[in-house]
Structure 1
Amino acid sequence: MTTKRSEEDVTSTPEELHCRVEADANRLAAVRKALSGWAEDLGMTREQRSDLVLAAYEALANAAEHAYVGRTDGVIDLSARCTQGTITIVVTDYGTWRAPQPSDGLRGRGLLLINALTRHHQVTHGDNGTTVTMTWPTPGSG
């Protein structure tokens, strides 16, 4: 699918969801909505969907805020896949890594939330950007 730069690019099947969005916090609501609908189609409960969407949103928001400082050309990709008893969400930016800063009590909790809301997560970063991979069991698989 080809879209204008100011629109979100979303493709979905029952097993997979792919979204590409500008690295702008104002664009993330459409990705949240698409991800929530996809998770609902998988049979996730409201609570399970809430955890999944919140963790993914934290990764998206971190990328939108930190990866492209001083740039306006950034994009973020979200890929979701349901296979073999596992739901995997991957959020990727192509910007610059910024190490977590000490929290002032009001901010800086994104990675803590991701840790608490996922079965497993991994953050990798390098010269080509940052990838956050998060997993959950599929509904009914424990």
Structure 2
Amino acid sequence: MRAVRLQLREWVAAADLDEDTADAVVQLTDEAVTNAVEHATTDGDTCVVDVLANRPPCGSGVAVVVHDDGTWKPPGDPGYRGRGVRLIGLMSDRSTITTSASGTTVRMCWTDPRLN
């Protein structure tokens, strides 16, 4: 996870995002990857998690896609945890989560507030 965060921090710096958007991109991508690792595998299984971050050609914002090839396993008692999906919905401008037999895909988008 540390390597993903470091690479994403470098990418958001190069993408010239405002500080709040950059922080949200890194935090929520980390959350989505962590969820993929925790919920897409069962004991002893592995899965592949892909992360793709880009800026649309018009440069109006940023999009991140996190996809795993695992099989969703329902969470146990979340206790104090289990707020990641809600955070993704609250802290991104648009988000979707889709599940299928080939895995789960989280799409998150942010617009650049400096362009509004």
For the aligned pair, the TM-score class normalised by the smaller chain equals 0.7 to 0.9
Amino acid at match of 2:49: I
Is 1:122 paired with 2:96?
Answer: yes
| Overall identity of the aligned pairs, in % | 32
Amino acid at match of 2:63: T
8 Å CA contact retained: 1:97, 1:129: yes
Amino acid at match of 1:89: V
Task: Measure, in 1, the Cα distance between the counterparts of 2:16 and 2:37.
Answer: 29
Is 1:109 paired with 2:83?
Answer: yes
TM-score (norm 2): 0.88
Task: Measure, in 2, the Cα distance between the counterparts of 1:136 and 1:98.
Answer: 28
Higher strand share: 1
Higher helix share: 2
Misfit runs of 4+, over 6 Å: none
8 Å CA contact retained: 1:87, 1:137: yes
Q: Aligned pair count? A: 114
Higher relative contact order (CA 8 A, sep 6+): 2
TM-score (norm 1): 0.73
Task: Flag structure 2 segments of 5+ consecutive residues without an equivalent.
Answer: none
Task: Measure, in 2, the Cα distance between the counterparts of 1:135 and 1:69.
Answer: 29
8 Å CA contact retained: 1:82, 1:138: no
Where does residue 24 of structure 1 map in the other structure? none
